[in-house]
Amino acid sequence: MTEHTNGARGDFADFVRVEVPTLTRAAYLMTGDRHHAEDLVQTTLARVAVRWDHVDEPAAYARRVLYTQSVSWWRRRAARVSETLTARVPDQPRLDTDVDVAVVLERALHRLTPRQRAVLVLRFFEDRTESETAELLNCRIGTVKSQTRHALRRLRELSPDLAQLEMDR
């Protein structure tokens, strides 16, 4: 990730070339859908382009836009579609390969709230600190801590085989 500052920022096209791969990976992790991730990145870039001359740190601003747009999209979707949760987790086969683990983890991530998913992506995929995550999501550090705790607990509930697999390794 390249730091873009006012003095040596370069032009918007350079910014896009440098940042799109990272933004796209993060968007895919949050949405689980390649096409939606690409749409999310396009929306993000459009918003960054409009504010290009007024933003001190375009990469940080782009991340904030990406995460808030993802949460907004899920809120709109949740208002239209309701999900029914069951009290009992269905029996699942034992995980044997890294591909199985990736598929189960991806499915479990999609059952988290958008904010929980964003917190996990920022904290563990992008290796951000709690304070950086809080700043990007425009919330308090305590919110990041509680969302992380709740998200990890929910992942353990949704995919107990992941915890067992980690212990076996």
In this predicted model, what pLDDT tens digit does every residue of 107-123 receive, in sequence order?
A: 778 888 888 988 988 89
Indicate which CATH number applies to the domain containing 69.
1.10.1740
124 and 160 belong to one structural domain: yes
Give alpha helix (H) positions in the chain: 12-31, 34-51, 58-80, 98-109, 114-120, 130-137, 141-158, 160-168
Cβ neighbourhood burial of 87 (10 Å; 0-12, 13-18, 19+):
exposed
> What's the pTM value of the predicted model, to 2 decimals?
0.51
% residues pLDDT > 90 (the chain): 34
State how far the Cα of 126 lies from the Cα of 132, in Å rounded to an integer.
11
Residue 44 has pLDDT above 50, yes or no: yes
Q: Domain boundary at 82, 107, 122, which?
A: 82
Range(s) of the domain holding residue 115: 88-169
45 and 60 belong to one structural domain: yes
Residue 48 has pLDDT above 80, yes or no: yes
Cβ neighbourhood burial of 35 (10 Å; 0-12, 13-18, 19+):
exposed
Q: Domain boundary at 27, 51, 82, which?
A: 82
Q: What is the pLDDT of residues 123-158, one digit of tens each?
A: 988 889 999 999 988 899 999 999 999 998 888 887
Q: Per-residue confidence at 68, pLDDT binned at 50, 70, 90? A: confident
- Number of domains forming the structure of the chain: 2
73 and 98 belong to one structural domain: no
State how far the Cα of 114 lies from the Cα of 161, in Å rounded to an integer.
23
Cβ neighbourhood burial of 94 (10 Å; 0-12, 13-18, 19+):
exposed
4 and 72 belong to one structural domain: yes
Higher-scoring residue by pLDDT: 83, 57: 57
End-to-end CA gap in the chain: 32
Q: Domain boundary at 50, 82, 114, which?
A: 82
